[in-house]
Structure 1
């Protein structure tokens, strides 16, 4: 292991100073905030970075809960991320091994973003300290990216050019395994279609124009369209989903005059997204024409497909084997067994191993925007005992608020910091990663899939969050 003494110094410092970062993770867990509503969470992280000597710009890319923190100067320029949004409806007490919400229906950290909020900054601060001690040249950037669950934050930060000029980005996510990854993921779009009609009495509906008829007709058109969309790749299939979040007057004796169809799609690349969106727009126009209504579209977000980087994956893998996978106690395994039994899935213990790196697909993520701006390495560290548990549920919330989550956080932070040190000391790693990145982009520059006049949906979760905010 190269630079072992320096890396041991980094890890020793992290061991001595981990408690404040654990407290931040706990505070974010105890006060979960939905995407674009993470005012307290983002402030905790930004304040921590500022106190550690980073220059923090808040409210970037038109989003009050987004920030960018910078330290140092010159190359290499290394990026780390911070995500802090919670999920709706997965509130859970941290000491209960059965469904037991803190507040019924309230948000919870069922994806572990309270851990991800802290890990990147913790690694960045530890790396900064070592670079200062050795008088090393380089720049560290930490990106505070809101609303990851809606693929919103990084899309608008990428559009604003905040990821430009970065030499490499080290990203991570808590998962059901520990595996420095080489992943691909689909491009994504999220759009609402608002139909407007004319109300009328149900006993004389010919006087009205039903917005619900229009939305249902568009839904049927989308069902027929599915057959004509390419299937994509195994592990990252091209998919199209829709829902009716606003069904108009919701009274059978009144013809509804407003209905919304909310549509999301995951496609293999930007070209497939563009083709699908054109046809989906046509479905909406056709439905409106057929029902005598009008329709407008609301652009929520759109992201590129994720570009893997085997070079950075290899660097992460080497340090993962040096740091080791998180090891869990019998008490923690017993809790995991009870949770799995409650969820009705196959029961297994934590294995505490590092799995072999392989090129696979993963769910859509707005970290794709990182990967078109710079070579991006992704790390997964185990928090759930098996894939059978799934994700985005009360069990994951329970783990993310416990000692299990803290072990996941600390393992990831050490691996990221050690890998960051390698990138500072070995310019050849970034050179090779950049060559690979250029091949994967095919020479195409990063282009945001958002329209020129797109604005972040700042209030998208406000009404729901207002119900539960303390």
Structure 2
């Protein structure tokens, strides 16, 4: 059963569905990556202002973040958020064939899981909730944050430390399905784990101290002369040492991972000069903070040794220090009840025809039912939890990675998932990533997820606004789990003690006399 306000919200979403579809494609086509989502953030800010929200741009000191508010009088404050960062090297057009978006190469950014749909679904839920509050005189406030750089778990630890989640009665967190059994369900006990991310910067700014020429020749000198190894060498030694020692960092359990990305190296000189600057980022995804600290200690030692061996100095700059998630069963129930009321997303024959075309173009065989069956099935949170726990040790409390976890220490938080299109394979066929990325951009295949998630968010938000008992139960559970709420005996305080890492060489789009392109030219032969 839905309330009158919830019925209004559902009708609103039916009315604005064409807009949600167009907006999803707009953000998909921007394809902007972590810390450089300028067009995407600006689009949301303009849209929210148009809808009557007051908006703080650049919230938390992050140029591509924002925080929006709308109030209908004194009452509880409900939180929702948008993510909109894409992934470098995943540029794919919204088309059933492998090709980058027009004017770009495959190395440009592209949405993978896709945050383009995540953000617009949340925006749709927000607007529908607002419409219902206005029509039915429901008091309260809506807070909507723009969260850049989720792929490096960037913004939410910073927003959390600066108070942007304080004072909320509840937060509704949605993500597209990305792994089974987390499809059309809500997290129960096992929420995402901790993560640390940092940049090690190697600087060779005193190469003259590497060796002193006996003839007094200045630096630089002949191409055959000895010189300091420099920052590139330091980075490579860091890279190889950390790969070699990975088995000696943590026990072989828990599903942890360490990923790296080289941000800057070499400045493209082929002269006999030592590279002056090189930077490598590490992302440590682990169940516990203690594991993150242990890996960091090893990486710190490696960086120190690599710098010493190559005539450099080194610096460590934080990108993320993110807490593991805190469960809230009352919020999980609210989200899943809303999802059950809406029902799982459904894909029509037009969407299936597109999926079959992609199956063939990706080297597979078209099937009568091209999508996996789980996409149109609900999974109760307890059932999903039981499946998730089968491969985890009983002592492990958290698994997988996302930075919504930082919000969960400031307000009761629901984390739910809605199916996004995923291809069925009746053989051993492994589909290339472009196929999944394309399905996330084509309106016929991604709109069912967006619509379902938006309706679920609106129903859950209105439940929190209208049902004092449900809202109080969620807060009581939050207080109990934290040992007294914010500042309680079991509460984890924000870990962010660093400035937003926005000034590094993050991949981005650039404009030159050749036009707008990815920072790696799309057509090197013509560059």
How many angstroms does 1:163 deviate by? 0.9
For the 8 Å contact 2:285–2:400, the answer to whether it is kept is no
Which residue in the other structure is 1:461 paired with? 506
> 403, 417, 420: which one pairs with 2:444?
403
For the 8 Å contact 2:86–2:112, the answer to whether it is kept is yes
Q: Deviations over 1:32-85 (max 9, x none)?
A: 322333233222222222222222221211122211111224442210111122
- Residues 275-286 of structure 1 correspond to what in structure 2 (within 5 A)? 275-286=294-305
> 188, 199, 202: which one pairs with 2:195?
188
Which residue in the other structure is 1:356 paired with? 380
How many angstroms does 1:201 deviate by? 6.7
The yes-or-no answer on 1:430 pairing with 2:471 is yes
How many angstroms does 1:459 deviate by? 5.4
| In 1: Cα distance, 2:11 partner to 2:343 partner | 15
How many angstroms does 1:394 deviate by? 5.0
Q: Deviations over 1:196-225 (max 9, x none)?
A: 3438877554x4244344333333442354
Query: When the two structures are aligned, how many residues end up with a matched partner?
Result: 465
How has the CA–CA distance of structure 1 residues 247 and 58 changed in structure 2, closer, same or farther, with 3 Å as cutoff? closer
> 120, 124, 127: which one pairs with 1:118?
120
How has the CA–CA distance of structure 1 residues 327 and 33 changed in structure 2, closer, same or farther, with 3 Å as cutoff? same
- Residues 248-327 of structure 1 correspond to what in structure 2 (within 5 A)? 248=266, 251=270, 256-327=275-346
| In 2: Cα distance, 1:212 partner to 1:47 partner | 43
Bigger mean CA deviation after superposition, 361-370 or 153-162: 361-370
The yes-or-no answer on 1:416 pairing with 2:416 is no
How has the CA–CA distance of structure 1 residues 211 and 13 changed in structure 2, closer, same or farther, with 3 Å as cutoff? closer
The yes-or-no answer on 1:448 pairing with 2:497 is no
Query: In structure 2, the residue corresponding to 1:22 is in which secondary structure?
Result: helix
- Residues 131-146 of structure 1 correspond to what in structure 2 (within 5 A)? 131-146=133-148
Q: Deviations over 1:103-125 (max 9, x none)?
A: 22332222322222222222122
Q: Which runs of 5+ in 2 are unaligned?
A: 208-219, 389-397, 484-488, 520-527
> 367, 388, 406: which one pairs with 1:369?
406
How many angstroms does 1:411 deviate by? 0.7
Which residue in the other structure is 1:218 paired with? 238
Which residue in the other structure is 1:108 paired with? 110
Query: In structure 2, the residue corresponding to 1:367 is in which secondary structure?
Result: helix
| In 2: Cα distance, 1:343 partner to 1:302 partner | 38
| TM-score (norm: length of structure 2) | 0.79
| In 2: Cα distance, 1:93 partner to 1:288 partner | 42
Which residue in the other structure is 1:95 paired with? 95
For the 8 Å contact 1:63–1:458, the answer to whether it is kept is no
The yes-or-no answer on 1:208 pairing with 2:225 is no
| In 2: Cα distance, 1:171 partner to 1:29 partner | 20
Query: In structure 1, the residue corresponding to 2:92 is in which secondary structure?
Result: coil
How has the CA–CA distance of structure 1 residues 462 and 385 changed in structure 2, closer, same or farther, with 3 Å as cutoff? closer
How has the CA–CA distance of structure 1 residues 34 and 151 changed in structure 2, closer, same or farther, with 3 Å as cutoff? same
| In 2: Cα distance, 1:349 partner to 1:115 partner | 18
Which residue in the other structure is 1:179 paired with? 185
The yes-or-no answer on 1:36 pairing with 2:60 is no
C-alpha RMSD over aligned residues: 3.0
| In 1: Cα distance, 2:7 partner to 2:253 partner | 41
How many angstroms does 1:178 deviate by? 2.1
How many angstroms does 1:285 deviate by? 1.4
| TM-score (norm: length of structure 1) | 0.88
How many angstroms does 1:463 deviate by? 4.7
Query: In structure 2, the residue corresponding to 1:78 is in which secondary structure?
Result: strand
The yes-or-no answer on 1:239 pairing with 2:239 is no
Bigger mean CA deviation after superposition, 211-220 or 66-75: 211-220
Which residue in the other structure is 1:86 paired with? 86
| In 2: Cα distance, 1:174 partner to 1:43 partner | 23
For the 8 Å contact 1:37–1:465, the answer to whether it is kept is no
For the 8 Å contact 1:36–1:458, the answer to whether it is kept is no
Q: Which runs of 5+ in 1 are unaligned?
A: none
Query: In structure 1, the residue corresponding to 2:464 is in which secondary structure?
Result: helix
Query: In structure 2, the residue corresponding to 1:68 is in which secondary structure?
Result: strand
For the 8 Å contact 2:117–2:440, the answer to whether it is kept is no
